[in-house]
Amino acid sequence: MEAFKKINGIVAPVDRVNVDTDAIIPKQFLKRIERTGFGQFLFYEWRFDEEGNDNPAFEMNKPRYEGASVLISRANFGCGSSREHAPWAIMDYGFRVVIAPSYADIFYNNCFKNGILPIKLTEAQVDDLFIRTAEHQGYKLNVDLENNTLSDDFGLSISFELDEHRRQFLLQGLDDIGLTLKHADEISAYEERHAAKLFAR
């Protein structure tokens, strides 16, 4: 998994509360067994009309948000089913950061396991980000995980809190398997000792 330290990315808004995982990646696209390829279906039923054409009313379809890597939304983001395909779709589309006042627990945990930084801010701080995103064409945020800060070119400076264990997961580019493999030497030594005891019986 790619390590996360700092990014400077365009911000895209999805101004809705209770964005559930079926809206993030609809159930009909869950047949793939790889983690990749889901980005094209992100927010599918909002991004496209019934004929499969771009829906001009959906915020993310506006040209100003092309190439965005920071997603901002409202409270209880990622609610609904526990499908890990939701962070897969977000990551595959190109987002590395999601900012919202609150998240569903399973989605929040799955983000860290897939290289996505989910940041929790207050309602007022998120309101301010929506305003800044609307006011400035191609609005960008500097996201610094090494110092737990957000900033922009217009005077914004925000500190955010993050569990240190999860922070280290992202800084080191680790998932659960990667964390286990950091102890590969100790595991091998234990297995050798255990095997020796079995053969000694």
Q: Is residue 188 part of a domain?
A: no
pLDDT tens column, 119-156: 999 999 999 999 999 999 999 999 999 999 999 999 99
- pLDDT at position 178: 53
The yes-or-no verdict on residue 80 having pLDDT over 80 is yes
Average pLDDT score over residue span 171-183: 64
What pTM was computed for the model? 0.87
Does residue 199 form part of some domain?
no
What's the confidence (pLDDT) of residue 1? 81
Task: Give residue-wise pLDDT tens across range 46-55.
Answer: 999 999 999 9
Is residue 188's pLDDT more than 90? no
Q: What is the mean pLDDT of the segment spanning 40-66?
A: 95
Domain that holds residue 91: 6-174
8-19, pLDDT tens digit by residue?
A: 999 999 999 999
In a domain, 197, yes or no: no
CATH code assigned at 123: 3.20.19.10
183, part of any domain: no
Is 137:7 a contact under the CB 8 Å cutoff?
A: no
* Mean pLDDT of all residues in 161-174: 92
CB neighbourhood size of 105 (10 A): 11
**How far, in Å, CA of 100 to CA of 93, rounded?**
18
Q: Does the pLDDT of residue 189 top 80, yes or no?
A: no
Q: Is 200 domain-assigned?
A: no
HSE-up of 67 (CA within 13 Å, CB side)? 7
Q: Is the pLDDT of residue 181 over 50?
A: no
Residue 201 lies inside a defined structural domain of this protein: no
Phi-psi region of 182 (alpha: psi -120 to 50; beta: other; left: phi over 0): alpha
Count up the domains in the chain and report the number: 1
Asked whether residue 116 is domain-assigned, the answer is: yes
Examine residue 89 and state whether it is found in any structural domain, yes or no. Answer: yes
Mean pLDDT of 35-50: 95
